[in-house]
Every structure is written in structure tokens, then in C-alpha cells.
Structure 1
Amino acid sequence: MNERVRNVQPEVLSDNWYTLRKIHFEYRRADGTWQAQSREAYDRGNGAAILLYNRTRGTVILTRQFRMPTFVNGNPDGLLIEVPAGLLDRDNPEDCIRRETEEETGFRVHEVRKVFETYMSPGSVTELLYLFVAEYDRSMQVDDGGGIAHEQEDIEVLELPFAQAMAMVASGEIRDGKTILLLQYAALHQLL
């Protein structure tokens, strides 16, 4: 029991890909009164994302892949440019992001640095996202990447000059929140 939330009653609406629940509860408002409320929450688990950067070359590794939710919301081809990312499943965030980086980009990174944790859409999605940065160089490339076929991944790996990636944020070509946050982190902390 929380001092502000009581009588929590979750109702599963869908348990197909991930779990969508409608949660009925009472919330104590700032004036002390209790108010009955209902909210839907989509639980897909927690995730991790990483910006790979090469200080010497001034480049970053990004990915491009089809994202159906963006397509149904007006993104004409459904393609989105993003940093490598994935769900933790049962891994800790560091192991997850090393695995996802290799699967998606073909680069095997060892030294990753967590820069922060964030909720990207806290009004409807439960996911806590762990954000990392890591340096890369060509000696770390073990294959071409592209994702895992049986997970229906079809990922294009992009190596871009950092200045170009930042210009793509400014122009709206990069619209993914976690990617924008990590690119801005790199700029603020002068990683490149």
C-alpha cells in the first residue's frame, strides 16, 4: 500500500505480444480526497539502448528498421533511425546491450558506460530504459549485424558522421526519443 494509491485492481485486456492492463485504483489528490481512476498500462518489460561512437573518426553507429506503430501514426514508410536497443528479457542491462549491439550492428563491445535511466512514455508504457554509450572501432566488428531473422528483424546498419546525425535530428529525419537523447548526451559531454 502506498500513501497516495490504494485498492489497485488490474484487469488484463491483452496478453498477446506483451501485456496490456487496465488498472482501476484510488488516488489521493493533493487536497487529501480520494478519487477513483482507471488507466491502461502496456507492459513490455525494461530495455536498454546504446550510442556507439568513434572519437577518432567522428562517427556514430545507428540503425534503420521498420516500426509499425510509427507507420500507423503517419510515418510514410515506417522506417525509423535509432540507436541499437532491445528488451532486457532476463539479462541485466549491461549484458543485454552488449548482446543487442552485436545482433543489430555486428560490433562486439566490452566496455559500456551507463549514462542514465529514463521512462520514455510514462503515461502508458511501463518500460524503464537504460541508456549507454561505448566507443567502437573496426577491430570490434565480428559480422555484418542486421538483427536476428527468427525475431523478424531486418535492420540496416548506418555509420554516420556525428555532425550529420545531429543535423538529421534538427531536420526531423531522426525522430526516435532514445536516439535524440543519446546524441544530445554525446554533444553535451563532447564525446566526439
Structure 2
Amino acid sequence: MHNPDIQIIDTEILSDNWYTLKKVTYRLEKKDGTIETQSREAYDRGNGAVIMLYNKISGTVILTRQFRLPTFINGNSTGMLIEACAGLLDHDNPEECIKRETEEETGYKISKVEKIFEAYMSPGSVTEILHFFIAEYAPDMKVNNGGGLEEEGENIEVLELSFDKTLDMVDQGEIKDAKTIMLLQYLRLKNIL
């Protein structure tokens, strides 16, 4: 496997309104040894964490539904997306982040999480790496109604669905979020539910 020599020549900030969009010009050594100059844009929104809450006894999972503008722009007629609870690290470690996000978004206070892997979700344009977690939940762990933080503009609906229903929803195109599908498939492959 060829590991190219890469030199950053220039970095230009195109926008830092919400997160940071950069245009990076670099020299890349190709596998035949020639050097090529390329420019690409990269969106840096920080790293994140995502979790699938599951209950073995009831055979259910906790998901969220909220408006996602990029999906609306790209043909999702309502803009609503069903997905696993997730959030940006905001300088926290991934485990602390996902515990905080779980309580804010779903209302469940969890103490034990299991990290299962990390993945880049859109490596051609976004710098973010996601830390994937799973955790068991029980009704007595619910400490509030969830829904996210109003000051962050969050308006999140909490869904408790049977695991089998979620798999059908993936098949029917009702769940289209990649991180959620990956976590559901993980539960299925590992025979957790």
C-alpha cells in the first residue's frame, strides 16, 4: 500500500459562520511517484458521539426524530429524520459527551456505555469522526422527557420502537440516517436484540 507524501501549501477559511469550511491546497505524491497539486474543501464541525439505547426485555430501542435542513434541501419533503441520539463532543471525552446528550435528548440517565467503534461518516468533505456506543436502558432510568436543549434550538421527539419495527423502517426507507442504520445492524449482527 502506497502512503503518499502530503504537503499542505495553503489553507483558506471560506466560512466560519456555524462551523468552519476551509479550502485546502496541497501537494500529493501519487503512487507512480509524480507530484500533483490539488485543492479540496473540508467542513470542520468537530468530532461527535452517537448511541443506540436498547432494552433486551422489551425488545425496543430509543430513537429521536427532528428536523434536519440538509435532508429537506435534498428532497426529504418534511425534513424530519429518525436517528439515534448523537451530539458533538464540545471538548468532552466521547463517553461523557454521549451520556450528557442521552439525558438531554432522550431523558434517560445512563451510567454504563459500551464503545463499539469509530467511523468517518463523510470523509470526502467532512473532518468529523464519530464514536459509536450502545447501552441498555430501563424505564426507571427516565429522569425527564428529553427533547433537547431549547437554547440550542433543539426540538426533538423521543421514539421508543420495537427493534423489528426499526429494521422494517430501514427496509421501507423510513430510517435513512447512516449512523442509525449502522447501530441497528450492529445490534442485529451481534444478536443483542
The one-letter amino acid paired with 1:27 is: L
Query: Structure 1-normalised TM-score?
Result: 0.98
Task: Give CA-to-partner distance per residue, 1:123-162, whole Å, 9 cap, x none.
Answer: 0000000000000001100000000000000000000000
Indicate if the aligned counterparts of 2:64 and 2:85 stay in contact, CA closer than 8 A: yes
**Residue 125 of structure 2: aligned partner:** 124
Alignment partners' CA distance in 2, 1:155 and 1:183: 20
Q: TM-score, normalised by structure 2?
A: 0.98
Give the Cα separation in 1 of the matches to 2:42 and 2:5.
Answer: 18
Query: Is the Cα–Cα contact under 8 Å of residues 8 and 24 in structure 2 kept in the other structure?
Result: no
1:139 and 1:87 map into 2 onto residues whose CA distance is: 27
Shift of 1:97: 0.1
Contact 2:60/2:160 (<8 A) preserved: yes
Note if contact 2:46-2:88 (Cα within 8 Å) is conserved in structure 1: yes
Equivalent position SS for 2:33: coil
What is aligned with 1:47?
48
Shift of 1:3: 5.1
Q: Where do 1:9-158 residues align within 5 Å?
A: 9-158=10-159
- Give the structure 2 partner of residue 188 of structure 1: 189
Unaligned stretches of 5+ residues in structure 2: none
Structure-2 residue corresponding to 1:166 = 167
SS of 1:49's equivalent? Answer: strand
Give the letter for the 2:14 counterpart.
L
Q: SS of the residue aligned with 2:43?
A: strand
Amino acid aligned to 1:161: S
Aligned length: 191
Moved over 2 A (4+): none
Q: Percent identity?
A: 61
User: Structure 1: 5+ residue runs without aligned partners?
Assistant: none
Whole-Å Cα distance in 2 between the matches of residues 24 and 108 of structure 1?
45
Task: Give CA-to-partner distance per residue, 1:93-140, whole Å, 9 cap, x none.
Answer: 000000000000000011000000000000000000000000000110
Describe the SS at the equivalent of 2:32.
coil
